[in-house]
Copies of this chain bind each other. A is one copy, B any other.
Amino acid sequence: MTKFSEAYRYSAETIAVGSELLLGGRSDSNSLFIAERLAGIGIEVRFKTIVGDQESDIAAVLNQACRRAGLVVMTGGLGPTVDDCTREAVAAVTGRRLVRRKEAFEGMKTRLAQWGRTPNRAQLRQALVPTGAIVLSNPVGSAPGFALTWRGAQIVVLPGVPSEMGAMMEQSVIPLARARLEQSKGSGPQPVTRMVFHTWGLPEAEVDRQLQGLITTRTPVALGLLASPTGVLVSLTTRAERPAKGGILLRTAEGVRTRLREWLYAEGQETMEEVVGRLLVEQQCTIAVAESCTGGLISHRLTQVPGASAYVDRGAICYSNKAKTDMLGVPGSLIERHGAVSREVAQAMAKGMRERAGVSVALSVTGIAGPGGATETKPVGLVYVGLDGEAGKPITKEFRFHGDRSVIKQRSSQAALDLLRRWLLERRHV
């Protein structure tokens, strides 16, 4: 595996400001978005820093970032309250004064007027911008952002609200960064190209083993593996080229596909629920889901996809045994004989769901998510997944998952959706 060891003249850093990002309240998702968008136009984010609301700490981080990077994107700390001091820190580092800018104030006033409000005194602070900076209008919220150049580094400051930050990245930051790339044309960096593959069903060490030898020390492609409750993510990253037919990146990607074919369920940004949704639409299938231990997670995931109402008919969450009988017609005697967590009950749940809903295919899950509920023969993590389709034999599968309640729910939902995916693929080839 090769590391990119050249130095980039034009790399970026992100700085997320907010004490809540340091201590528990919230994780920083803005920086991930910014890095993805910048990578798409050939700018690599090499460092991300998170810092609290203390002005001197923000200033220290900004100072450091400007020495390393050509572009520094800051988010957060632009609100109307006194603990928002990003603009003060930027002014201090760059030696600029903060002045109220007409275009900043007007934009804010217009936005608030749309909501039937007028700026209050605290909000007036949000129109303060360092001298020499350009104002970046906020198409979603009231706080404007700004951009300035200092000692060769471009500093961009955006609000921390993800929807505002996202809109301003598209509207202002990407065009600014592109313009700068244009200026340095010829000597500018190649775009970073990254391909991502999502696998389910193999442990990380096994994925690693399957890929052994695919990349040699001379391949200018970096391979990354990342394990999570919903599977192992495989990434290929290169700066060597734009993806082109016959190129090394696409050849390596083909290698990943061949070696992991059996476990690969999606590429790029696509999620399992999107893949399944696409296949359901393609085959004009409808679906219903009967859930016990996953408690609604499978239906929730299926309905995250816009347009899901075209194929999701209904779902039943049968936590109690009585609900399994009432809603799905699972015989009480079957539950008594085999227990609610059993292959037989999973199968009866899927069958009952499909028949009652009149759909093409039904999924079912029953298991022990823990921490309570285990018996001598049935440990926490024992999960049965069932599928009943209008064609073909019914399927049930047994799993023994590790992890806490939340992880077991996640893994169970992934196992069920993957079973559906395989059934849909097979059906297509019949």
Q: List 6 A-B contacts (CB under 8 A).
A: A46-B51, A47-B49, A296-B297, A314-B323, A314-B327, A315-B316
A1 contacts B314, C-beta separation under 8 Å: no
CB distance from A296 to the nearest CB of B (A): 3
Q: What residues on B are CB-neighbors of A194 within 8 Å?
A: 23-24
CB distance from A259 to the nearest CB of B (A): 16
- Within the assembled complex, what's the spacing in Å between the Cα atoms of A23 and B319? 39
B19 contacts A224, C-beta separation under 8 Å: yes
Q: Which residue of B lies closest to A268 (CB)?
A: B24
- The 8 A CB mask of A111-147 against B (1 = contact, 0 = none) is 0000000000010000000000000000000000000
- Within the assembled complex, what's the spacing in Å between the Cα atoms of A298 and B315? 13
A297 contacts B295, C-beta separation under 8 Å: no
CB distance from A138 to the nearest CB of B (A): 15
**Residues of A contacting B: mostly:** mixed
Binds B, one of A172-180, A302-310, A382-390: A302-310
A83 contacts B223, C-beta separation under 8 Å: yes
- Within the assembled complex, what's the spacing in Å between the Cα atoms of A390 and B370? 30
Residues of A within 8 Å of B, CB-based: how many?
A: 101
B5 contacts A54, C-beta separation under 8 Å: yes
Q: What residues on B are CB-neighbors of A326 within 8 Å?
A: 314, 356-357
A57 contacts B50, C-beta separation under 8 Å: no
B23 contacts A27, C-beta separation under 8 Å: no
- A24-B36, A294-B303, A303-B319 are known contacts; what are 8 more A-B pairs with Cβ within 8 Å? A22-B46, A23-B192, A23-B235, A26-B226, A47-B61, A49-B49, A296-B299, A314-B318
A308 contacts B319, C-beta separation under 8 Å: yes
B303 contacts A205, C-beta separation under 8 Å: no
Q: Which chain A residues in 394-417 approach chain B with CB under 8 Å? A: 403, 405-406, 409
Closest 7 CB pairs of A and B: A295-B303, A296-B299, A315-B317, A296-B296, A314-B323, A296-B300, A48-B50
Most chain B beta-carbon contacts within 10 A, residue among A18, A315, A316, A405: A315
- Within the assembled complex, what's the spacing in Å between the Cα atoms of A224 and B23? 11
Q: Which chain A residues in 205-255 approach chain B with CB under 8 Å? A: 205, 208, 222-228, 233, 235, 237
Asked if A152 is at the interface (CB within 8 A of a chain B CB), the reply is: no
Q: What residues on B are CB-neighbors of A18 within 8 Å?
A: 224, 226
Q: Which residue of B lies closest to A405 (CB)?
A: B306
- Within the assembled complex, what's the spacing in Å between the Cα atoms of A365 and B315? 14
Q: What residues on B are CB-neighbors of A49 within 8 Å?
A: 47-50
